Every structure is written in structure tokens, then in C-alpha cells.
Amino acid sequence: MKINIKNVAEKAGFSTATVSRVLRNYPGVREQTRKKILNTISELNYEINAVARNLRQKKTYSIGIIVGNVLSQFYSVIAKSVEDTANKYGYNVILCNGDEDPEKELNYLRVLKSNRVDGIILTPTGKNSTYIKHLINSGTRVVLLDRLLEGVNCDTVLVDNAIGAYKAVRHLIERGYKKIGIVNGYLDRTTGAERLRGYLNALREAGITKDDSLIKMGNFKKENGRKLTKELLNQPNKPEAIFTANIDISIGALIAIKEMNLKIPEDIGIVCFDDSDWMSIFEPPITVIRQPVYQLGSQASELLIKKIENEQNDLSINNRIILNTELIIRKSTRKLNNSIK
Amino acid sequence: MKINIKNVAEKAGFSTATVSRVLRNYPGVREQTRKKILNTISELNYEINAVARNLRQKKTYSIGIIVGNVLSQFYSVIAKSVEDTANKYGYNVILCNGDEDPEKELNYLRVLKSNRVDGIILTPTGKNSTYIKHLINSGTRVVLLDRLLEGVNCDTVLVDNAIGAYKAVRHLIERGYKKIGIVNGYLDRTTGAERLRGYLNALREAGITKDDSLIKMGNFKKENGRKLTKELLNQPNKPEAIFTANIDISIGALIAIKEMNLKIPEDIGIVCFDDSDWMSIFEPPITVIRQPVYQLGSQASELLIKKIENEQNDLSINNRIILNTELIIRKSTRKLNNSIK
DNA sequence: ATAATAATTGTAATCGATTACATTTCATTC
DNA sequence: GAATGAAATGTAATCGATTACAATTATTAT
């Protein structure tokens, strides 16, 4: 049989109010009473019903996070860091897999709202701004992660995507590469748009004219990275090096290169956005742009929880945190002798 | 202002009971009434409060999953498959990171219980049997994943760990290896114990006497895999090949081998438990035991949800599902000429 | 010992839904 | 048009906690 606070109160000989005060560690309960009630609680094996508490308190001590793709190493690090941080502050995390699908995202936003989570961390697909605004207006705290959302007023934690991409491509150019391809995600994610911008900036700066046939876009997943890389490297006008825009696309690209029996860096140079252990033990070790993934998640959580707990904060003030990326040079590019410059 | 069912009822001119019937899609509401109420709902932007519903119905439509280590690719696939499956049946997932720490595990079990999840999927550390039994007795459905728990009566979904490990080591033996090391997790996880058993079985069958200095154990994480592999390969009596017992240990081992400047398979042969894209594009491609990870998660979820929804089921009948592993031969071992037999 | 004050404890409303049971409305039959 | 039964709707208790406010008990001052 399920034990509730009333059972405890009766057995201990006090009212539910007093039991509740003991549970919540309120002052103003005689030590002797407290002990007696605590005893009864453990005798009866009583476990508080958080659902009832949540209803009454209008607070759930839980936050939701909707990630783009749980399968991605990127997001599993995010999940870990959000979990760690939330945990530190006594919050639970409800992890949802948006799967890069706006409909799934909307559905989860609704579910989370309905479950009255105290706040939501979201890597937006870019399509549900209206609902997200509604969420924010109706009091749910939201922090955007990894991607910006135009026209939505809320805290955001990002990486310097354009600069990161610029650094990657700049590195290739410095090594003498001129025909540089990019395998990118869609531009409706700001990560896609910004990384393309960085790529173009680097080309422009070097006086290299943009060649649309070297720019490939699809979703941010592995299979797509593989497909687009093959297209790119099979076309007559093929690049000497490629820049791949996220970890999953990068894995796909490396698979494609392997399947095509091409050698890195002899046949094709590559720089990937996002690091991983595997990147460093790969043969050859892959030059990457490293993002501070763990910090992305922890900063977002900290921001969110701060906003949740600080009731009187001014919702119109929105933080935008931009974290720096770093170029890690390894051995996936080579020096070309036509390094004219 | 937050809209509740009473607001809707008043505005629409009906009682909360009727509104609730519409919400729950009950029969016995006039079509005209239903429409009117649905209209009011969307006019007011009403969103049901799941917390209140959960309290009254004593059902949350959510399941908890406690994994060993979210950072591990293994568990991120598990998370994905549990999420997919739960989603299919209309359940939400609360993901918790047990971090291979019994205390964290116990804490999360308590939190999940307190939040009245309908069921829990757990990869047990092996230390909280008492509480888990209590959970089961008090009506929470539990399914164990990946690891067995002695003395606890509940559904379990596993992989044929001993056979898998046997196949791995057997493969090494067939190629002529005789000094075979193992980098394993702790034996209190049954995965650790079973994989060791498989290793020993293969040795015994081949008439190779066990050498304790070739058996290394620690936790199931990457850093440990790296450390133990170094120990193993630095000792005077070092193995010609190693078997690594899970994906994270394997990554650690590969890092160690790289750092020690050893060549696979010339200097050291290796077979890893658990596959990954990276394993196949690694140089050389790594021979692995592949587990059906996605199915592990989906089968566990199916079992759990079936148990949740089928109230009158006999709790004393417990399913144990054992999935098969598969040896994928790639190029991380070689034929030794001293293949005496 | 009594009044005044402080410290404990209790009563009952509340959070927002669901649902057993009661009541009203409608349709059908004679 | 009344009686009957079916269909639709409403009333109020309930889930299990929290908490404002009231009531009681203990302590201190006079």
C-alpha cells in the first residue's frame, strides 16, 4: 500500500502540516517532534510524492532539454554537462530527442510545457519561433543552445561559428589549398549559415572566387556527410581539400573518403569542425576546430537555473554568451607547392 | 495568467467534467458541445496541466532510465532507442546519468520513484539490490538492461557476454596468439564477470594456462582503458594481443597504443567488444564483437511498457532476453607463424 | 499567579485535473 | 401527452502535498 503524508501524521500523532514542515526542513518544529516524525517516516518507509508537491508548489525542479540528435557525440556531451549542472542545483533533466525535426521539436516543447518543467534548453531547428515566444511569454524560462533564433528574445549560448569556420579555411589556404569544398548543414540552422559565412570570408580575403559546385548542403547527420562528400569528390571539378561543418558530417566524410580509397592528406585535405578522441588517433590525425562542448551545456544550464531561481529578474535582458573555438593542427592537410600567395 | 480547466469550463458554459471528457476524448459528449469546448480551448490557448492529471490518475506516462555513462557511445545509442520506443507509445523519458556510481544510482532511483514514473530501465551497478527490490515490491516496474542483478526478480535484457568474449578470444587463438591480455571492467558488473568468463573459457579450451598478469581490471571508462593498457604493454611479460571489454575501454586502449607508438597488428593484436563507425575506418580497421545495442534498448522499453500497461500481469514471471553478438573480422590481428594449435 | 509574548501545532483551503454518482435533458413509445 | 429509458451534463469528492491563518501551549516578565 502506498503511504502518504496523512498516514505518517496519524501514526506519529501530529497533523499533516507539521509533517510537511519536517519534510521541508522548516524551522519552528520542536526537536523532539521532528525526531518522532522522522522516525515514523523511516518506519513506514514513506517517500514523498513529488507530483503532489509539484502541483501545489507550481514548481517541478526539472528542466527539459531538446537536443538535435542524441546519437551525436556532440549532444551526448551536452546531455552530460546539462545533467551535471542541473544535478548540482537539485534539478532533474528530461532529455528529448528533437531529431532535427521541427515537428518533433514542437511536440516536445508542448509536452515539456504541459509537464510544467521550470525551464527548457533547446537547440532550435529554427521553425518554431511562434510557439517558443508563447512559451517565454507564458513564463517558461528558455535558453537557446548552439544556435541563434532570430526574433526570439531569450538567453543564448553559442560558439563563434563564423570565426571557427574562418580559421579552418584560413588554415587550408595558408597551406596552399585553393580549391576548397565545404560539406555543410542546412542554412536555416544558424550554425550552418555562420559556418558558411566563415568559409566565404576566408575565401574572399584570399581573393579566391566562390565556386558553388564546391559548396554542399544537407542535414547535419552522418549519412548525409557521407553522401555529399562522395558527390563532391566524384565530380569533375573536385576540391583539393574539404571543410566539414560538424562532427557527424565529418564522420560521414571520413567514411566516404575511406570507401573511395583516397588518402588523407595526399589525395584530399580535410579540416573538421568539432574534436573527438577518435579524431586524434585517426590515421592521419585530423586537424579540427575544437568547440568547448561541455561548457556550452554547463553555461546554458547555469543561465537557465539562474533565471528560474531569480524570480524578479528582468526578462527583457537577455544574455548572449559566445564561446571561443580553437584550431588544433594535426596531420590531415599538407603543404602544397603552388602556395603562390 | 495561467489558464486552467475551470476557466475553459466557464467561458464555454459547461462544467469542468464535460471539458475533461472532451480532453480525454470520452464518448457521450454531444458533437456540438465538443466543438464549442475545443474552440474555447484554442481561443484561450489552454494547455492541460500534466502534473495535476498525473496526480489524480496516479500515472505519469513517463519512464526513467539510468545509464552507466551518458558520454559513452553505447549508452547514447541506448538512450536513443529507449526514447524512440517510449515515444511510440506516448511515454516521456527521464534520462539519468548514474555515472557508474552506486550512490548516484540510488539517488536517482529515489528521485524517479518520488516522481512516480511508471517504470524504470536500469543498467545496475550491482550495489543497490535492496532498494531495487523495494521498488519492485511497491509497484514500480523495472527492467534491467545490459547487466544482470543476482537475487532481484525482474525482467532483464542482455547480450551473450560470455559467448561474445569467447568468440573474440577464440578468434585470436585461431590466428596463433597465445599470450592474450584482457582489459576488463570490474567484476561486480555482470558484464565484467561474464566477459572474463568467456575469455577464460577460450583459453582453457585451447589449453592455454591463465596468466593473472595478463588480466587487468578497472572501471569501464576510457581513461581506465588507457591506463591499464599501458600497464599491460609496459610490463616485461607483455601480451601479443589484447581483448578490450567495452567501447570506452577500447578507445582508451587505442589511445594508449598510439601513444606508445605501437603498430596494430604488427606489434600488438586487438579485438574490441562493441562496434562503431570509427572502428571500421580506423587504420587498421578493428576486429570487433558487435552487440545489437539499439535492440537492447528497444527490447527493454517494449518489455517495460508492456508490463506497465498490462496491469493484471503476473509479476512473478520474469522475462530474460539474451541477444546475440557477432564477430566482425577486420584487420587488427594477424596470422602468427607459431600457430602451433 | 497572571498577563503578555513567543514558540508550536492544527485546521482547512488550495493546486488543477479526473471521475463516481446524481441530475437534467432528450428521444421514443404507447 | 405521460411514461420510460437513454444520452448528456453537472456536482462534488479525490489525488497528496503545501501553507495562510487560527488555535494552542510554553515561556517570560511582572
The grid coordinates listed for A137 are 511569454
DSSP class of residue A286 equals: P
B5 vs A312, higher pLDDT: B5
Spatial contact of A111 and A62, defined as CB atoms under 8 Å apart:
no
C-alpha–C-alpha distance, residues A236 and B285, integer Å: 30
C-alpha–C-alpha distance, residues B158 and B174, integer Å: 27
Q: How far is the CA of B32 from the C1' of D2 (A)?
A: 29
Interface touch A251/B54, C-beta < 8 Å: no
The grid coordinates listed for B124 are 545496475
| Cβ contact A230 with chain D strand, < 7 A | no
Q: Give Cβ neighbours of residue B24 (< 8 Å, ≥ 6 apart).
A: none
| Cβ contact A15 with chain C strand, < 7 A | yes
Q: What phi and psi, each to the nearest 5 degrees, are found at residue A246?
A: -155, 175
The grid coordinates listed for B223 are 581513461
Picking from B178, B172, B214, the residue whose alpha carbon sits closest to that of residue B196 is B214
pLDDT tens figures, B235-252: 999 999 999 999 999 999
| Strand order across the B141-145 sheet | B92-97, B62-67, B119-122, B141-145, B155-159, B320-323
pLDDT tens figures, B81-115: 999 999 999 999 888 889 899 999 999 999 999 99
Minimal Cβ distance to A283: which of B52, B251, B283: B283
Tell me if chain B has a CB within 8 Å of the CB of A114: yes
> H or E segment at A289?
strand A287-290
pLDDT value, residue A311: 59
Picking from A193, A188, A196, A148, the residue whose alpha carbon sits closest to that of residue A168 is A196
Tell me if chain B has a CB within 8 Å of the CB of A97: yes
pLDDT value, residue B310: 81
Spatial contact of B63 and B117, defined as CB atoms under 8 Å apart:
yes
Spatial contact of B245 and B184, defined as CB atoms under 8 Å apart:
yes
* Residue recorded with cell 496519524: A10
User: pLDDT > 90: what percent of chain B?
Assistant: 87
Picking from A185, A255, A183, the residue whose alpha carbon sits closest to that of residue A218 is A185
| Cβ contact A226 with chain C strand, < 7 A | no
In this structure, which amino acid lies at residue A68? G
Which of chain A's residues have a Cβ under 8 Å away from the Cβ of B54? 51
| Cβ contact A21 with chain C strand, < 7 A | yes
Q: Give Cβ neighbours of residue A41 (< 8 Å, ≥ 6 apart).
A: A8, A19, A22
| Cβ contact B73 with chain D strand, < 7 A | no
What is this structure's pTM? 0.91
Interface touch B278/A278, C-beta < 8 Å: yes
pLDDT value, residue A341: 43
Cα A324 to the center of its chain, rounded Å = 15
Interface test with chain A among B4, B92, B94, B270, by most A beta carbons within 10 Å: B92
Spatial contact of B102 and B128, defined as CB atoms under 8 Å apart:
yes
Low pLDDT (below 50) residues in chain A: 339-341
Q: Map A165-193 to HEC letters.
A: HHHHHHHHHHCCCCCEEEEEECCCCHHHH
B64 — pLDDT class (breaks 50, 70, 90): very high
For the four alpha carbons of B87, B90, B95 and B100, in that order, the dihedral sign comes to negative
Secondary structure class of A136 (helix, strand, coil) = helix
Distances from the Cα of B227 to the Cα of A221, B53, B168, B257, B286, angstroms: 33, 51, 22, 11, 20
Distance from CA of B207 to the nearest CA of A (A): 36
Q: Map chain B to HEC letters.
A: CCCCHHHHHHHHCCCHHHHHHHHCCCCCCCHHHHHHHHHHHHHHCCCCCHHHHHHHHCCCCEEEEEECCCCCHHHHHHHHHHHHHHHHCCCEEEEEECCCCHHHHHHHHHHHHHCCCCEEEECCCCCCHHHHHHHHHCCCEEEEECCCCCCCCCEEEEECHHHHHHHHHHHHHHCCCCCEEEEEECCCCHHHHHHHHHHHHHHHHCCCCCCHHHEEEECCCHHHHHHHHHHHHHCCCCCCEEEECCHHHHHHHHHHHHHCCCCCCCCCEEEEECCCHHHHHCCCCCEEEECCHHHHHHHHHHHHHHHHHCCCCCCCCCCEEEECCEEECCCCCCCCCCCCC
In this predicted structure, the answer to whether residue B340 has a pLDDT above a threshold of 50 is no
pLDDT value, residue B52: 97
Picking from B274, B187, B192, B269, the residue whose alpha carbon sits closest to that of residue B233 is B269
Distances from the Cα of B222 to the Cα of A113, B77, B97, B260, angstroms: 37, 17, 16, 16
First to last CA, chain A: 80
Of B125-134, B189-198, B274-283, B308-317, the one with minimum mean pLDDT is B308-317
C-alpha–C-alpha distance, residues B22 and B38, integer Å: 8
The grid coordinates listed for B44 are 484561450
Distances from the Cα of B244 to the Cα of B160, B169, B181, B183, B222, angstroms: 16, 10, 9, 5, 11
C-alpha–C-alpha distance, residues A209 and A200, integer Å: 9
Cα A251 to the center of its chain, rounded Å = 18
DSSP class of residue A324 equals: P
C-alpha–C-alpha distance, residues B187 and B165, integer Å: 14
Spatial contact of B273 and B326, defined as CB atoms under 8 Å apart:
no
